[in-house]
Structure 1
Amino acid sequence: MRVSVIGGGTITDEETDVAAAVGRELGSRGHTVVCGGRGGTMEAVCRGAKAAGGSTIGILPSDRPDEANDYVDTAIATGLGHARNALVPLNGDAVIALAGGHGTLTEIGFAGIYDRPIVGLGTHDVPGVETVETPAAAVDAVEDAVRS
């Protein structure tokens, strides 16, 4: 399945480790990562997924596919700026939300509008987000939600 992973563009070393671990978990289970395609959470989750043999899709805010991070397999240039935040959760079967700011919160909102299962690991505490404690639990939860 495709799993949208959302989170901050600027993150701490600990948050980078968590995002990479989520990517490795998704990649090792054969899932495709969908993200915003740039730095921070997006780069870390893609790096983790690629290290585990997974594939990645980056939905970029600019009109330049070459702005994708080095771990994106398929770069989709939109030219939409922040409006591309609607497309990231739309293109996943489920969403894993990591630490982030207002952009992450907008993507959580769109995930809810699109009725995507949303699992949170160190993210915003809002209704509709199932909170988990580990990367493996996050992937377990999205797998369970999509199978239901």
Structure 2
Amino acid sequence: MLIGIIGGSKCNKKTEKLAEEVGSEIAKRRHTLVCGGMGGVMEAVCRGAKKAGGLTIGILPGKSKEDANKYIDIPIVTAMSHARNAIIVRTADIVIAISGSYGTLSEIGLAKSIDKTVIGLNTWDIPGIIKVDSVEELIKEIKKAGNSVSGNTVSCILYPEY
């Protein structure tokens, strides 16, 4: 499954550690991460995914691949600033919000307006988000959501043997 991660471009150490754990657990389950490709929650979640052997896609706001954090495998340059958030949300099968501010709120709103599942961990408390309090709960909700995803579900992702 292609899992969108949204969250703040800046975060404290506690959120950074949490995001890294989320990335690791998602990658261990062979899901691919798509995010904004920059710092903060995005970088932490990608770092966790890479440590666990996962694949990461960064939808970048600027004009250069070099802007991506060092844990992005596939940088996609948009030169669209915050408008790239629509690409992240549309591309993902489900969306996970970790912490975040108004940019994250706008992504949640867009995701809900197109009926995407949004799972929230330490983020906005608004109707329609599946709120979880731990990474373990998050993984259970991802599994539930994955069972109901249809249409653009990634059915098979091949990983090369190293």
Looking at structure 1, the residues matched to 69 and 30 of structure 2 have their Cα atoms a distance apart, in angstroms, of 21
Looking at structure 2, the residues matched to 27 and 54 of structure 1 have their Cα atoms a distance apart, in angstroms, of 5
Deviation at 1:133, TM superposition (A): 1.1
Question: What is the letter of the counterpart of residue 134 of structure 1?
Answer: S
Deviation at 1:33, TM superposition (A): 0.6
Which secondary structure does the structure 1 equivalent of 2:130 belong to?
strand
Looking at structure 1, the residues matched to 46 and 144 of structure 2 have their Cα atoms a distance apart, in angstroms, of 22
The structure whose Rg is larger is 2
Confirm or deny: 8 A CA contact 1:37 1:43 kept in the other structure.
yes
TM-score by length of 1: 0.97
Which secondary structure does the structure 1 equivalent of 2:92 belong to?
coil
Which secondary structure does the structure 2 equivalent of 1:100 belong to?
coil
2:68 maps to 68
Confirm or deny: 8 A CA contact 1:95 1:142 kept in the other structure.
no
Confirm or deny: 8 A CA contact 1:5 1:33 kept in the other structure.
yes
Alignment of 1:107-146 (within 5 A): 107-146=107-146
Looking at structure 1, the residues matched to 96 and 120 of structure 2 have their Cα atoms a distance apart, in angstroms, of 6
Q: Could you say what the CA RMSD is over the residues aligned between the two structures, in angstroms?
A: 0.8
Alignment of 1:86-97 (within 5 A): 86-97=86-97
Deviation at 1:91, TM superposition (A): 1.0
Looking at structure 1, the residues matched to 33 and 136 of structure 2 have their Cα atoms a distance apart, in angstroms, of 15
**Structure 1: 4+ residue segments shifted above 3 A:** none
Looking at structure 2, the residues matched to 57 and 65 of structure 1 have their Cα atoms a distance apart, in angstroms, of 12
Aligned length: 148
Which secondary structure does the structure 2 equivalent of 1:72 belong to?
coil
Structure 1 stretches lacking a partner, 5+ long: none
Question: What is the letter of the counterpart of residue 13 of structure 2?
Answer: D
2:147 maps to 147
Structure 2 stretches lacking a partner, 5+ long: 149-162
Deviation at 1:146, TM superposition (A): 2.4
1:4-38: CA deviation from partner (whole Å, max 9, x where unpaired): 01100010000000100100010100000110000
Confirm or deny: 8 A CA contact 1:22 1:136 kept in the other structure.
no
TM-score by length of 2: 0.89
